[in-house]
Amino acid sequence: MSLAAARPGPLRAALAVDSLDAMHFPLSVMLPPVDRPPAATTVLDLQHEEHPEFFGRAELAYRKLVYGWSVRRSRIVIAISEHSRQTLIERYRLVEERVRAIPLAVDHERFSPGSARRGDYLLYPARPWPHKNHGRLYAAFAQLRREHPELRLVLTGEGDFGRLPPGVEARGRVSAHELVRLYRGAAALVFPSLYEGFGMPVVEAMACGCPVACSNVTSLPEVAGDAARLFDPTDADDIAAAADDVLRNPEPWVARGLERARAFTWDANARAHDDVYRELASA
């Protein structure tokens, strides 16, 4: 990526950029940088704007530089949630009409309810990155086990989770098939993230009939709507209380979640992108 930024000529030639009507950069950065044809860039993650403390000096400087030129050179900037859209407008001083919110979606043929009964575990599919907030989840889980001694916490995702508290198990990276099985069998998804551009696991869990408790910050209230029990992710007591509420009365959350998940389809996502491409091509 650094080479493409420093010497964009070879990549521009390989892509035949000058012959295109429009371009779309779907992974947050515009590489190679282009002025023509008109381009859209999808910005997936603005965590560095809201939580710069989670980044080293070099990575933070890189993100600010490259994201900055990407959004300013783009004719249209696509955000994956309204929260991300507003962040882009405010932090980069963009004209509102240039920034479109197109939410992500799930494959409803894959992520669907199963016939298995819910098990005795909470699920959190997230790598052990600082913003994923595992430490407070562990503290909340210790409280929950006093009332639910049989309860387990299952983690998925690559990385070093360190020393795990009693009742917590890390499965590492799992296949899509296994992830669906875990969603279907979980007593609940507990999602204490401090930052999400969208929050895909929340919708995946809902689509599988898994009740959800999740953070009340960034994009998550927007994505979850009234279909998840929201909590303050900086307060372990509140996380524990929310998870306990869902465990004691899961069925209303299951029903609301299934209904909410139906709003997020790849067909709607594709149609919204088609509109962007037509607008770019006519510029």
Amino acid, single-letter form, for residue 266: W
Residue-level pLDDT at 61: 95
Could you check whether the bond before residue 103 is cis, i.e. omega within 30 degrees of 0? Answer: no
- φ, ψ of residue 165 to 5 degrees: the values are -65, 165
Residue-level pLDDT at 6: 79
Are 140 and 246 members of one domain?
yes
In a domain, 25, yes or no: yes
Q: Cβ distance 231 to 214 under 8 Å?
A: yes
Pairwise CA distance, residues 245 & 142, whole Å: 16
Pairwise CA distance, residues 112 & 204, whole Å: 8
Q: Cβ distance 274 to 76 under 8 Å?
A: no
Are 98 and 154 members of one domain?
no
Amino acid, single-letter form, for residue 118: R
The overall average pLDDT reported for the chain is 96
Are 62 and 165 members of one domain?
no
Are 137 and 41 members of one domain?
no
- φ, ψ of residue 45 to 5 degrees: the values are -150, 120
Here the CATH number for the domain that contains residue 134 is 3.40.50.2000
Are 139 and 83 members of one domain?
no
Q: How many CA atoms lie within 13 A of 267 on its CB side?
A: 4
- Give bridge partners of residue 244 from the DSSP assignment: none
Are 137 and 254 members of one domain?
yes
Q: pTM for the full model?
A: 0.95
pLDDT in tens, 115-161: 888 999 999 999 999 999 999 999 999 999 999 999 999 999 999 99
Q: How many folded domains does the chain comprise?
A: 2
Residue-level pLDDT at 223: 98
In a domain, 271, yes or no: yes
In a domain, 111, yes or no: no
Are 18 and 86 members of one domain?
yes
In a domain, 135, yes or no: yes
Are 172 and 195 members of one domain?
yes
- DSSP-derived 3-state class of residue 168: strand
Residue-level pLDDT at 2: 72
Query: Phi-psi region for residue 184, left (φ > 0), alpha (ψ -120 to 50) or beta?
Result: alpha
Are 209 and 272 members of one domain?
no
Are 65 and 53 members of one domain?
yes
Domain span at residue 184?
121-261
Q: Measure Cα distances from 159 to 6, 53, 58, 78, 145 in Å.
A: 32, 20, 22, 30, 25
In a domain, 68, yes or no: yes
Low-confidence ranges of the chain (pLDDT < 70): none
In a domain, 183, yes or no: yes
Say which residues have a Cβ less than 8 Å from residue 255's Cβ, sequence separation at least 6.
none
In a domain, 113, yes or no: no
In angstroms and rounded to an integer, the radius of gyration of the C-alpha atoms of the chain is: 21
Are 91 and 160 members of one domain?
no
Q: Cβ distance 179 to 148 under 8 Å?
A: no
In a domain, 114, yes or no: no
If DSSP states are collapsed to H, E and C, what string results for 88-131? HHHHHCCCHHHEEECCCCCCCCCCCCCCCCCCCEEEEECCCCHH
Pairwise CA distance, residues 119 & 191, whole Å: 18
Pairwise CA distance, residues 60 & 181, whole Å: 37
Residue-level pLDDT at 11: 86
Tokens 């503290």 -> residue:
139
Are 101 and 208 members of one domain?
no
Q: Using CB atoms within 10 Å of the CB of residue 241, give its burial: 0 to 12 exposed, 13 to 18 middle, 19+ buried.
A: middle
